[in-house]
Amino acid sequence: MYDYARFFQLPEAFGPVATPMSLTREDLEKIAHLARLQISAEELPAYVESLSSIIDFVEQLNGADTTDVLPMAHPLSGQTQRLRADEVTENNARELHQQNAPRVEAGLYLVPKVIE
Amino acid sequence: MHNLTIKQLSDGLRQKKFSSVELTQSALARVEKFNPRLNAFITVTAERALEHARRADARLARGEGGPLTGVPIAHKDIFCAAEVRTTCGSRMLDRFVSPYDATVVAKLQAAGVVSVGKTNMDEFAMGSSNETSYYGPVRNPWDETRVPGGSSGGSAAAVAGRVVPAATGTDTGGSIRQPAALSGIVGLKPTYGRVSRYGMIAFASSLDQAGVLTQTAEDAALLLGAMAGLDPRDSTSVDEPVPDYAAELNKPLQGLKIGLLKEFFDGLEPGNAQAVQAALEVFRKLGASTQELSLPSLPLSVSTYYVVAPAECSSNLSRFDGVRFGHRCEEPRDLLDLYKRSRGEGFGAEVKRRIMTGTYVLSAGYYDAYYLKAQKVRQLIADDFRRAFESVDVLIGPTTPTPAFELGAKVDDPITMYLNDIYTIGANMAGLPALSTPCGFVDGLPVGLQIVGPVFSEARLLNVAHAYQQETEWHTKIPHGYE
C-alpha cells in the first residue's frame, strides 16, 4: 500500500479515521439547493460524509504561508485573455441548435409557467 | 497492421502497402472484436470513418496530403464532432448530437486523420479510473479485472489494446498521463493554452488541456503538430509559433540536466521505484546528469486542485439546465423542479459531489478562505516549478504512485481515488507540459515515467522520451491476447 501520508506530510487526522463532520445535513441541503441539484433523502448522508472529508482534506491549505502572494490570474505568467472586436462572427443557426432542445415551439424554448 | 505506429502507417500509406480504407476497416474490426471486453468506445462512426478514409485515399492517390492523411484514430467523447453524438460520458448528454466541430477535431480532420469513433471516459472527465462513466467502466487490456485509469480511460485502453494506433485525450489533473501510465502507453499533456479548448466540453477551464495518447513519442509529436496553435475561438489559446516537433526528436541528450523531485520519490513502492531508477540509469548513459530537488509547496497540489477544479466545474456545469440541451426530467412542477430534477437525474454521483464541493467553496463567506487561498497556493506551486527550471531542463519521476488497481477498489472513497493524481496535478497547477512513457512492469502491470518541462518545452519532452524509447522496448509491449 502506498504511504500517501509521506507525500503529504499529513497530520494524523487524515485518513479513514472518523473525524467530526465539518458539514451538517442542513448545510448539504442548502448547498444542493444552491447548485440546483435534487438529492434524495437516502443519498444525503453519503454526500455529507464525502463533502466533509473533502473539506477537511483541503483545510491543509491553511498551513501555507501566502502573505504577499497574489492569487494566480493565469497559469502562464504574463498572459492575459485576448479581447476581440464586438462584431457578428457566427451565422444564425437556431434551428440546428434547437434540435438538441428537449422542448421547443415556434423557435422558443418551452419551460413550465414562471409568471402566474 | 494493427500493431504499427502512426509513423509506420503513414509510411505504409505512402508506399501503397495498404489503403486508408483498409486501415479503417481493420480498426473497425478490432473495435467490434475487443469492445465487448474493453468497453472503450461509447460511439462508433463506421460509415463516416469509411467515407473519410475514401477521401484520404483519393488525396494520397493525387500525391496530396500530409503525414497524418488516412491514419485512423479515436477521439475522447469530450470533443464535439459535428453531427456525431457527443456524451462526455454522461446521461446528461446521452442524446446530444453536436452541431459543430471542436477545433481539435476540425484540425485533425483537415490533416486527413480518420476518426473511427468516440471513446469512453469518466463522466465530464471527473475521475481517475473511468468508473464514473454513465456507459460503464472501461477495462485495462493488461488485466481486465483492473481499471485503465482515467479520465481518458477509453482512449488509453483502445491504444493499449492496439484497437486504434492513437487517440485524443484531455488532462485537467492527470487524465491523459495517469491512464497512459496504467495502460502502458505514451500520454502527452501540452502547455496550458497550447491546444485550443474550443468544442472541448469544459470541466475546469484554467486547468483543462487537450493532448494525445499514443504508442510512441514520435507519434505524439506528429499529432501535436497538427493539433496545436492559436485559435481565435479560445481566448486562452496562446499565440506562440508551433515548432516542427518531429524535427527535434533525435537531438542527443548529452548535457541534459534532469531534476529528481524529493517529493516524488519519498515513499514510492519498491516496484515502481526500481523501474524509475532503471530509467534514470538509461538517461545517465545517454549523457544526462541528475540532481535532487525539492518543491516545498508541491504536497499542497492535490488540496489546491480539489478547491480550484470543483469551483470551476460548478460554474461550468451550470449550463446544463434541462432547457436548451441535455437531459430533462418528466413532468416538471415548476422551473425550480425542472432544474433540480433534470440535473439530479442527468449527473452521476461524482459529478454531483464536485459541483456541490465547488458551490460550497465559492459560496458567500467561504470564497476567500478556499478559492482565493487556493489560487494563492497555486501561485506558490507555479513559482516553485519556475525556480526548479532555473537549474534543470526537465523533471523526471513516476507518473503514478501505484500500477493499475482493481475495478471497484476505490469507488467508495473519493479521497483515495483523488490521490492517484498526486504526481500529475502539479503540472496542471503550473500550466506545464508533461509526458508519461512506459518504463517497466510490476507484476505484469505497466509503470509510467513522467517527464515535466517548462512552458512550451513539448519538443524537449518528446525528444527526451524518444531518446529513451530508442534504448528501451517497454513502449512496444502489447498485452496478451491483443498482439
Per-residue pLDDT, B362: 95
Which of B235, B357, B422 would best serve as a mutation to test chain A binding (most A beta carbons within 10 A)? B357
| Residue among B409, B397, B407 nearest B452 (CA) | B397
Query: Does the structure show a pLDDT above 80 at A20?
Result: no
- Inter-residue contact B73 to B54 (CB < 8 Å): no
Strand blocks (E) in B83-182? 114-119, 166-170
Give contacts of B207 with chain A, Cβ < 8 Å. 75
Residue A10: which pLDDT band, with cuts at 50, 70 and 90?
A: very low
| Residue among B212, B236, B380 nearest B298 (CA) | B380
Active-site entry in B7, B10, B76, B90: B76
Question: Looking at A10-14, A104-108, B24-28, B192-196, which range is the least confident one?
Answer: A10-14
Per-residue pLDDT, B188: 98
Give the closest-approach CA distance of B100 to chain A in angstroms.
9
Give contacts of A69 with chain B, Cβ < 8 Å. 376, 379-380
What is the torsional sign of CA B184, B189, B195, B199?
Answer: positive
Find residues 220-249 of chain B whose CB sits inside 8 Å of chain A: 232, 235-236, 238
Find residues 2-31 of chain A whose CB sits inside 8 Å of chain B: 2-4, 6-9, 16, 23, 27-28, 31
Question: Looking at A70-84, B73-87, B191-205, which range is the least confident one?
Answer: A70-84
Assign 3-state DSSP to chain B and report helix, strand, coil percentages, each to 5.
Answer: 45, 15, 40
How crowded is the C-beta side of B299, counted as CA atoms within 13 Å? 19
User: Residue A27: closest CA among chain B residues belongs to which residue?
Assistant: B360
Query: Does the structure show a pLDDT above 80 at A116?
Result: no
Query: Which pLDDT tens digit goes with each residue over B2-48?
Result: 999 999 999 999 999 999 999 999 999 999 999 999 999 999 999 99
**Amino acid at the residue B298:** L
Per-residue pLDDT, A18: 43
- Give catalytic status of residue B175 as yes or no: yes
- Give catalytic status of residue B76 as yes or no: yes
Cis peptide before B151 (omega within 30 of 0): yes
Give contacts of B325 with chain A, Cβ < 8 Å. 97, 100-102
SS3 A108: strand
Task: Report the distance separating Cα B242 and Cα B194, nearest Å.
Answer: 9
| Residue among A96, B185, B141, B451 nearest B169 (CA) | B185
Per-residue pLDDT, A8: 54
B322: left (phi > 0), else alpha (psi -120 to 50), else beta?
left
Cβ contacts of residue B442 below 8 Å, gap of 6+?
B269, B271, B272, B275, B403
Give the closest-approach CA distance of A68 to chain B in angstroms.
9
Task: Report the distance separating Cα B167 and Cα B156, nearest Å.
Answer: 8
Query: Does the structure show a pLDDT above 60 at B292?
Result: yes
Per-residue pLDDT, B267: 72
Task: Report the distance separating Cα B48 and Cα B208, nearest Å.
Answer: 28
Q: Do B382 and A77 touch (CB under 8 A)?
A: yes
Query: Which pLDDT tens digit goes with each residue over B401-437?
Result: 999 999 999 888 888 888 888 999 999 999 999 999 9
Strand blocks (E) in A1-116? 104-105, 108-109
Query: Does the structure show a pLDDT above 50 at B262?
Result: yes
Query: Does the structure show a pLDDT above 80 at A15?
Result: no
- Give catalytic status of residue B391 as yes or no: no
Residue in B206, B304, B382 nearest the CB of A61? B304
- Which domains are delineated in chain B? 6-258+390-476 (3.90.1300.10)
Task: Report the distance separating Cα A51 and Cα A56, nearest Å.
Answer: 8
Phi, psi angles (nearest 5°) of residue B34: -100, -20
Cβ contacts of residue B366 below 8 Å, gap of 6+?
B360
Per-residue pLDDT, B411: 84
Query: Does the structure show a pLDDT above 70 at A11?
Result: no
Task: Report the distance separating Cα B186 and Cα B401, nearest Å.
Answer: 17
Query: Does the structure show a pLDDT above 80 at A105?
Result: yes
DSSP one-letter code for B368? I
| Residue among B325, B346, B322, B345 nearest B334 (CA) | B322
- Inter-residue contact B420 to B436 (CB < 8 Å): no
Query: Which pLDDT tens digit goes with each residue over B86-117?
Result: 999 999 999 999 999 999 999 999 999 999 99
Residue at grid coordinates 502502458:
B184
Q: What is the mean pLDDT of chain B?
A: 96
Residue A19: which pLDDT band, with cuts at 50, 70 and 90?
A: low
Residue in B321, B355, B402 nearest the CB of A2? B402
Q: Do B376 and A72 touch (CB under 8 A)?
A: yes
Stretch A76-82: mean pLDDT, rounded? 82
Task: Report the distance separating Cα B239 and Cα B261, nearest Å.
Answer: 31
Question: Looking at B143-157, B158-172, B264-278, which range is the least confident one?
Answer: B264-278
Angle at A70 between CA A66 and CA A73, to 5 degrees: 130
- Other CB atoms within 10 Å distance of the CB of residue A15: 14
pLDDT higher at A75 or A34: A34
For B73, the grid coordinates are 484514430
Query: Which pLDDT tens digit goes with each residue over B121-142?
Result: 999 999 999 999 999 999 999 9
Based on its alpha-carbon atoms, the radius of gyration of chain B, rounded to whole angstroms, reads 21
Stretch B46-63: mean pLDDT, rounded? 98
Q: Would an 8 Å CB–CB cutoff place A94 in contact with chain B? A: no
Per-residue pLDDT, B378: 97
Give the closest-approach CA distance of B281 to chain A in angstroms.
24
Bridge partners (DSSP) of residue B398 are B449
Task: Report the distance separating Cα B98 and Cα B103, nearest Å.
Answer: 13
Task: Report the distance separating Cα B156 and Cα B141, nearest Å.
Answer: 9
Phi, psi angles (nearest 5°) of residue A36: 55, 55
Residue in A43, A64, A114 nearest the CB of B300? A64
Task: Report the distance separating Cα B481 and Cα B140, nearest Å.
Answer: 12
Cβ contacts of residue A71 below 8 Å, gap of 6+?
B372, B375, B376, B378, B379
Find residues 23-82 of chain A whose CB sits inside 8 Å of chain B: 23, 27-28, 31-40, 43, 46-47, 50-51, 53-55, 57-64, 66, 69-72, 74-77, 79, 81-82
Per-residue pLDDT, B364: 85
Active-site entry in B133, B175, B297, B301: B175
Query: Which pLDDT tens digit goes with each residue over B454-469?
Result: 999 999 999 999 999 9
Per-residue pLDDT, A13: 35
Per-residue pLDDT, B284: 98
Per-residue pLDDT, A80: 80
Give contacts of B355 with chain A, Cβ < 8 Å. 35, 37
Give the closest-approach CA distance of A94 to chain B in angstroms.
10
Residue A55: which pLDDT band, with cuts at 50, 70 and 90?
A: very high
CA–centroid distance for B438 within its chain: 15
Stretch B262-274: mean pLDDT, rounded? 86
Task: Report the distance separating Cα B79 and Cα B342, nearest Å.
Answer: 23
Question: Looking at A94-98, B129-133, B305-309, B417-421, which range is the least confident one?
Answer: B417-421
What ipTM was predicted for this assembly? 0.93
Inter-chain contacts counted by CB atoms under 8 A, chains A and B: 196
Query: Which pLDDT tens digit goes with each residue over B345-392?
Result: 999 999 999 999 999 999 988 999 999 999 999 999 999 999 999 999
Share of chain B above pLDDT 90, in %: 94
Per-residue pLDDT, A14: 38
Phi, psi angles (nearest 5°) of residue B282: -60, -45
Per-residue pLDDT, A6: 56
Q: Which residues of A94-115 are buried (b: 16+ CB within 10 A; e: fewer)?
A: eeeebebbbebeeeeeebeeee
- Inter-residue contact B320 to B343 (CB < 8 Å): yes
Q: Would an 8 Å CB–CB cutoff place B274 in contact with chain A? A: no
What is the torsional sign of CA B273, B274, B277, B278?
Answer: negative
SS3 B397: strand
Which residue intervals of chain A are DSSP H helices?
4-8, 25-34, 44-58, 94-98
Q: Would an 8 Å CB–CB cutoff place A99 in contact with chain B? A: yes
**What is the H or E stretch that residue B464 is in?**
helix B458-471
- Inter-residue contact A35 to B348 (CB < 8 Å): no
| Residue among A85, A44, A89, A13 nearest B198 (CA) | A89
Task: Report the distance separating Cα B169 and Cα B223, nearest Å.
Answer: 12
Query: Does the structure show a pLDDT above 70 at A4?
Result: no
